Structure formats: C-alpha cells, structure tokens
Homo-oligomer: A and B are copies of this chain.
C-alpha cells in the first residue's frame, strides 16, 4: 500500500480553493504553491501540468480499469464486461460527490479544462476498445465493432454522469448509469447466450432467416451476415 503524501492533497486543496474563488485561468502556479506553503518546483513533482491538479485521481482510476479488464473474466459477455468497467469510473466520481460537482462546474466553464478532460476520457475509451478488440479478434469487423461499442459505452456513461452532476448529486448515479448502459446493451446485444436462430440457404440467390421474435437483433444480424457470405 502506498503511503499518501499529504503534500499532494494540500496542493489539490489549495488549487481548488483558488480556482473556485478567483477562477482557473486567473490562478497561477505561484499562487497555488504560495497558499500551500511549498516551493513551485514541488508542484510539478506531483502534477505534470496545471490541468492535472484538477483530475488528481483519474490516473489511479484508469489503472484500476485496465487491471479489471486484464484480470481475465473472459467467461463474461464482452459488452457487459466493458459496461462494468465503465461503472468503475462512476464509482470514483461517487466516492467524493461534492468534489466531483465542483470539478464539473469548473470544467464546464474553462475550455482548456474541457479539452484536457477529453484526453482523459479518450484514454478510458481506448482501454475499453482495446479490450473489445481482443475479445472480437477474428470477427470480420472486429476492430470497427470494438471502437463503436466502446464509444457508445463511454457516451452513455458520460450522459448519465453529467445528468447526475447537473443535479448536484441529488439523483442516484448508479441508477442513471445502469439505465444508460442498458440502452447500449440493447442496441449491441447482451446475448442471453441461447438466441434461437436458424439459417437455411437456398438456391436462387435467396436467403431465408427464421428467427424468434424476441431474439436479440445483433444475433440475427450475425447470422444473416454469415449466411450472406460477407467477408
């Protein structure tokens, strides 16, 4: 277990105090280190850039997510797995709601912080997409499907997250995210593994597909694709 450096927390606290009372761009690194009572050099020891102090826990969360995805679990369904990985991010936000809401207000106002947040979110999305690419290896459009599903999961997660943040943490974050991710799973298939689909090929350039009405759409599409003989 790594011991928590109090200096790092002191810098975050000092930074947010100044950001909130005078604005992000109006606060210099020197202001922060002066308030924290440390040297300017020490700031950059803990945070590689000024933006990083606004997202002090994302590095750890990203490591958690990659560890979660790397830790096997290949018996689970891939889309559900990345949805669970996305829930890890929500959990981090939920651990410190007031801080998350303050940061949300900040990033909403400052374009530079919005841009930085995008690069953070992008790394999460890459982690999910890379995992799905591994699981989809061999499928015809494996990387395409992996990228699209990862983007959809992140978008759904962020939609719910932001709606929760806008409510000042009043509503239930987990419920909102579950609902949003449910939409993605319904679109890309949370297969109940059974999926009763029968395919018969007939002559004359015609394909007949017989499907149970409640079969997941993606499963039907998969069968049609192979029946049509697309690469």
The residues of A with any CB-CB pair to B shorter than 8 Å are 114-116, 118-119, 122, 141, 143-145, 147-148, 150-152, 154-156, 158-160, 179-180, 183-184, 186-188, 205-214, 217-218, 220-221, 224-225, 228-230
The count of identical subunits is 2
* Contact status A213-B206, CB under 8 Å: yes
* Contact status A114-B119, CB under 8 Å: yes
Which residues from B are CB-within-8-Å of A141?
179-180, 183
8 contacts between A and B (CB under 8 A): A118-B118, A143-B159, A144-B159, A148-B156, A151-B151, A205-B214, A206-B211, A208-B209
* Contact status B118-A221, CB under 8 Å: no
Closest to A216 in B: B228
* Contact status A155-B159, CB under 8 Å: no
Also in contact, A184 and B115, with CB within 8 A (given A205-B212, A228-B217): no
Which residues from B are CB-within-8-Å of A230?
217
* Contact status A213-B217, CB under 8 Å: no
* Contact status A209-B209, CB under 8 Å: yes
* Contact status A212-B206, CB under 8 Å: yes
Given the complex of chains A and B, what is the CA–CA distance between A143 and B197 in angstroms? Answer: 29
Select which of B147, B154, B213, B220 is within 8 A of A158 by beta carbon. Answer: B147
Closest to A116 in B: B115
* Contact status A144-B180, CB under 8 Å: yes
Closest to A154 in B: B151
